[in-house]
Amino acid sequence: MDAPPAARAAMLNGPANNRNRCWTQSTLYLDPTKNLSAQLTGRDRRTGPGSRDEVQHPAGPSPVHHRLVQSTTARPRAPEMAALLPLAIAVLLLLSAAAAARRASPPPPTASPLAPALFVIGDSTSDVGTNNYLGTLARADREPYGRDFDTHRPTGRFSNGRIPVDYLAEKLGLPFVPPYLEQNMRSGAGGLTNISGMVQGVNYASAAAGIISSSGSDLGMHVSLTQQVQQVEDTYEQLSLALGEVAAADLFSRSVFFVSIGSNDFIHYYLRNVSGVQTRYLPWEFNRLLVNTMRQEIKNLYNINVRKVILMGLPPVGCAPHFLEEYGSQNGECIDYINNIVIEFNYALRYMSNEFIRQYPDSMITYCDTFEGSVDILNNRDLYGFVTTTDACCGLGKYGGLIMCVLPQMACSNASTHVWWDEFHPTDAVNRILADNVWSGQHTQMCHPLNLQDMVKPRK
């Protein structure tokens, strides 16, 4: 059941301390006397019959569950960054003005785009500059990031060049989607919103963000999934005021919403055993919590007339150079313990998306298996022209996974021969392949039940 109009208006136009919670991120400490799930996910809502966001639980653990419970290999070393965090954030904030000026130069839109707009929700896999405006270590507004981008300058994208949403925007005939916080900065006096900069899409994605609100807080500020959905709701309200509610509803129903988030809930939360989460949740139980929260937020989007959603699964996180280094991989073997958890999450996410479509037949949710598409690249590197599938182009230590990419001198000369750009993120070359798969399944059929090209194809 949807929220009554008065309640929804209060949510969209509530106090600033509710609407701007992205400025108050901190490490999460759990209160055992309160609802644990609500504390983890950041939305303390009633769930169940008659509530705004009734949670649908998957039928049960997938067959992978049994492997996960038995797979209890060595835990990683937890880096201690607390002492360096204040100084590092202070330095980054001094550079924010310069970083904000180095925006991407988008390609001109086509006369008749295949969708009116592209809205993006996610983490560093789809952040195009949100974190440039936040006090955080998770920023890509410095060289060598962006060296192979259209402008050959850093923009906030965690890659040497483009990321998947850039290629998808181009295929849709749309310009590159600007960050939501950048649009807010361009608002006129009196809080008037730059509507012209929003009608073709907004990117809300924030590096280090997770489905759980505090995932990634060890790096500083970020905008979590819940907060990003709240920003989407604010955008809908602003467009309704400017264009009229009928026009705003029509725009959202025909637009594409791209959602790519979840890795940080493992990288910065579960695998680090924050607040002893591993003693409270088995891997499959934790995945169920994440997917139920994801469903809740998809339903919130549905309530504001979002119908076309690209839901990205997680990549093989256990193959990232960071974890090859941290878990002591001898010859570049992926960490099965981590990848098994990711497979479990993807299984539950796909199940949830199928069930959502059954419950809401007018929704068009497509699940895209990033894991499958990435493994195809790793297993067929020669076919795709890659020389190495284990070593990051930019980094230090074995596999380049010891520390993050911070200096141009740390980067290789030709990123196109590498699968990994830094310790966690793929190169532009990989992003192009994955985008091609999301669009049409050109290399691997990643998306189910249909590709993005079929989703936006005009219906006769």
The 10s digit of each residue's pLDDT in 56-70 is: 444 444 433 333 333
Q: Is the pLDDT of residue 78 over 90?
A: no
Q: For position 312, what pLDDT does the model report? A: 98
Which of 12 and 166 is assigned the larger pLDDT? 166
425 is catalytic: yes
Q: Choose the catalytic residue: 127, 265, 422, 428.
A: 422
Q: Choose the catalytic residue: 124, 224, 329, 374.
A: 124
**What are 265-295's pLDDT values in tens digits?**
999 999 999 999 999 999 999 999 999 999 9
Share of the chain above pLDDT 90, in %: 71
Q: Choose the catalytic residue: 214, 425, 428, 436.
A: 425
Q: Which domains does the chain have, with CATH numbers?
A: 82-102+114-374+446-455 (3.40.50)
391 is catalytic: no
**What are 388-443's pLDDT values in tens digits?**
999 999 999 999 999 989 999 999 999 999 999 999 999 999 999 999 999 999 99
**What are 231-250's pLDDT values in tens digits?**
999 999 999 999 999 999 99
422 is catalytic: yes
Written in H, E and C, the secondary structure of the chain is CCCCHHHHHHHHCCCHHHHCHHHHCCCCCCCCCCCHHHHHHCCCCCCCCCCCCCCCCCCCCCCHHHHHHHCCCCCCCCCCCCCCHHHHHHHHHHCHHHHHHCCCCCCCCCCCCCCCCEEEEECCCCCCCHHHHCCECCCCCCCCCCCCCCCCCCCCCCCCCCCHHHHHHHHHCCCCCCEHHHHHHCCCHHHCCCHHHCCCCCECCCCCCCCCCCCCHHHECCCCHHHHHHHHHHHHHHHHHHHCHHHHHHHHHHCEEEEECCCHHHHHHHCCCHHHHHHHCCHHHHHHHHHHHHHHHHHHHHHCCCCEEEEECCCCHHHCHHHHHHCCCCCCCCCHHHHHHHHHHHHHHHHHHHHHHHHCCCCEEEEECHHHHHHHHHHCHHHHCCCEEEEECECCCHHHCCCCCCCHHHECCCHHHEEECCCCCECHHHHHHHHHHHHHCCCCCCEECCCHHHHCCCCC
